[in-house]
Amino acid sequence: MKFNHTIRGKIADYGTMIFSEVSKLFNEYRAIDLSRGFPNFQQDKKLAELIKKHVDEDRNYYLSINGHKGLRRNISAIFKEKYGIEYNPSQEITITAGASQAIYTVLSSTVRENDEVIIFEPSYDLYAPTVEINQGKPIYVKLEEPDFHIDWSKVQKLITPNTRMIILNNPNSPTGTILKAHDLDELYRIVNGTDIMVLGDESLQFLIYDGYEHNSLARKRELAERSFIVGGFGKAFQITGWRVGFCIAPEDLMHEFRKLHQYIAFNVNTPAQFALDEYLSGGVDFDQIAGAFAQKRDYFAQLLSDTSFELLPVKSGMFQPVKFPKEEGLSDKDFALKLIKEYGVAGVPLSAYLHDHSNFGIVRFCFARPQEILDEAAQKLKLVK
> How high does pLDDT run on average in the chain?
94
Q: Class for domain 61-281, per CATH? A: alpha beta
Q: Can you say whether the dihedral through the CA atoms of 85, 233, 206, 283 is positive or negative?
A: positive
Average pLDDT over residues 321-333: 88
Average pLDDT over residues 116-135: 96
The amino acid occupying position 299 is Y
For residue 17, the model assigns a pLDDT of 66
Q: Is the pLDDT of residue 238 over 70?
A: yes
Calculate the alpha carbon distances from 47 to 50, 97, 234, 276 in Å. 5, 18, 11, 8
Distance between CA atoms of residues 180 and 148, nearest Å: 12
Please, which pLDDT band fits residue 112 given cuts at 50, 70 and 90?
Answer: very high
For residue 39, the model assigns a pLDDT of 76
For residue 27, the model assigns a pLDDT of 83
Within 13 A of 130's CA, how many CA atoms are on the CB side? 21
For residue 325, the model assigns a pLDDT of 86
Q: Is the pLDDT of residue 206 over 70?
A: yes
The domain limits of the chain are: 18-43+286-381, 61-281
For residue 15, the model assigns a pLDDT of 64
Q: Is the pLDDT of residue 16 over 70?
A: no
Tell me the per-residue pLDDT of 273-313, one tens digit each, with 9 for 90 and over.
999 999 999 999 999 999 999 999 999 999 999 999 999 99
Phi, psi of 319 (to 5 degrees): -125, 140
Q: Class for domain 18-43+286-381, per CATH? A: alpha beta
Instruction: Check: CB of residue 232 under 8 Å from CB of residue 245.
Output: yes
Distance between CA atoms of residues 54 and 50, nearest Å: 6
For residue 42, the model assigns a pLDDT of 66
For residue 249, the model assigns a pLDDT of 99
Instruction: Check: CB of residue 41 under 8 Å from CB of residue 238.
Output: yes
Average pLDDT over residues 168-194: 97
Q: Is the pLDDT of residue 384 over 70?
A: yes
Q: Is the pLDDT of residue 61 over 80?
A: yes
For residue 12, the model assigns a pLDDT of 65
Q: Is the pLDDT of residue 244 over 70?
A: yes
Please, which pLDDT band fits residue 326 given cuts at 50, 70 and 90?
Answer: confident
C-beta neighbour count of 19 within 10 angstroms: 15
- What's the CA dihedral at 262, 266, 271, 275 to 10 degrees? -20
Instruction: Identify how many contiguous H helices and E strands the chain contains and give both numbers.
Output: 13, 13
The amino acid occupying position 101 is Q
What pTM, to 2 d.p., does this model score?
A: 0.94
Distance between CA atoms of residues 148 and 183, nearest Å: 13
For residue 25, the model assigns a pLDDT of 81
Lowest model confidence (mean pLDDT) among 15-19, 111-115, 125-129, 180-184: 15-19
Percent of the chain with pLDDT over 90: 85
For residue 43, the model assigns a pLDDT of 72
Tell me the per-residue pLDDT of 328-371, one tens digit each, with 9 for 90 and over.
779 999 999 999 999 999 999 999 999 998 988 999 999 999 99
Instruction: Report which of 67, 17, 126 is spatially closest to residue 349, judged by C-alpha positions.
Output: 17
Q: Is the pLDDT of residue 114 over 70?
A: yes
